[in-house]
Structures are given as structure tokens and as C-alpha cells.
């Protein structure tokens, strides 16, 4: 069960979860997104909240609403999303993270970039 926080609207949190899935290729470009009903059941949310999250992704140019068929992942959506997320990370998250690493005395050689087996 998903734990929702109070720092941002639930629809935005769901949009972020769905965007992370898109970055991972789920669903692949050109394929349909799960329906509002399926997502509402999966995340135990009101369908209006799910619809708002999907609308947010559509507004970002990631989804295409095919009348009568549903929402489909647009070609190039993954790369557009990746570029936007990289930019957001480098401008907003990285400076804070770099400062925290400095405060804790963690150098680049202390970090393990590859996953452990």
C-alpha cells in the first residue's frame, strides 16, 4: 500500500510515481497507460485524483488522449522526461546533496556508483 505524504497533493505524488514508471519504460512508448479504473484500484485512490495525475502527465506532453481508446505514451516521452528530470536534479537537488556530502565529509571516492552484486 502506497504511503502518501502531506507535503504535496496526492495527484502530484501519483503523477511522479507514474513518471518514474515511464522513465523505466513502463509502459513503453506507443503503448496504452493503465485505465483510470485500474490505477484507482491499484493505488486505492478516487478516480478523479487519478484522472488529475494523468492530466498532469498529458500537460507535460508525455501522453496522448486517443478519444475512445485511452491515454497512450507519446514517442519521445521517455527522453523528454529524462531531460526535464536531469535538469531539475542538477538545479534543485544536486546543490543540496553536494552540500550535505561536504558537511558529512564524504568524498567522491567514498561513494559507490555501481550496484552491489
In a domain, 46, yes or no: yes
Is 64 in a helix, a strand, or coil? strand
Interatomic CA distance for residues 62 and 65, integer angstroms: 10
In a domain, 70, yes or no: yes
CA distances from 46 to 29, 73, 96 (A): 26, 22, 35
In a domain, 2, yes or no: no
- What total of structural domains would you count in the chain? 1
pLDDT at 17: 97
In a domain, 98, yes or no: yes
In a domain, 20, yes or no: yes
pLDDT at 83: 96
In a domain, 76, yes or no: yes
pLDDT at 117: 60
Interatomic CA distance for residues 53 and 19, integer angstroms: 10
- DSSP state for residue 93 in the 8-state scheme: I
Interatomic CA distance for residues 37 and 41, integer angstroms: 6
pLDDT at 55: 97
Over residues 93-116, mean pLDDT:
90
Q: Do the Cβ atoms of 12 and 59 come closer than 8 Å?
A: no
* Residue in 15, 73, 4 with CA at minimum distance from that of residue 44: 4
User: Which neighbouring-strand residues pair with 66?
Assistant: 70
H-helix or E-strand spanning residue 18: helix 10-23
In a domain, 99, yes or no: yes
Q: What is the domain-level CATH number for residue 97?
A: 1.10.10.10
Expressed as residue numbers, the domain containing 66 is 7-107
In a domain, 75, yes or no: yes
Q: What are phi and psi of 65, to 5 degrees?
A: -90, 110
For 8-66, write each residue's pLDDT tens digit: 999 999 999 999 999 999 999 999 999 999 999 999 999 999 999 999 999 999 999 99
Q: Is the pLDDT of residue 106 over 70?
A: yes
pLDDT at 114: 79
Min mean pLDDT across 2-6, 31-35, 73-77, 80-84 is at 2-6
Amino acid at each position: 500500500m502506497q504511503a502518501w505524504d502531506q507535503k504535496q497533493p496526492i495527484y502530484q505524488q501519483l503523477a511522479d510515481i507514474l513518471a518514474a514508471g515511464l522513465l523505466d519504460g513502463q509502459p513503453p512508448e506507443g503503448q496504452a497507460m493503465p485505465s483510470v479504473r485500474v490505477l484507482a484500484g491499484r493505488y486505492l485512490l478516487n478516480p478523479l485524483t487519478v484522472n488529475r495525475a494523468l492530466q498532469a502527465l498529458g500537460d507535460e506532453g508525455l501522453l496522448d488522449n486517443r478519444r475512445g481508446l485511452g491515454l497512450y505514451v507519446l514517442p519521445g516521452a521517455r527522453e523528454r522526461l529524462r531531460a526535464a528530470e536531469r535538469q531539475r536534479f542538477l538545479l534543485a537537488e544536486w546543490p543540496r546533496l553536494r552540500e550535505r556530502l561536504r558537511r558529512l565529509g564524504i568524498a567522491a571516492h567514498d561513494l559507490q556508483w555501481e550496484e552491489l552484486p
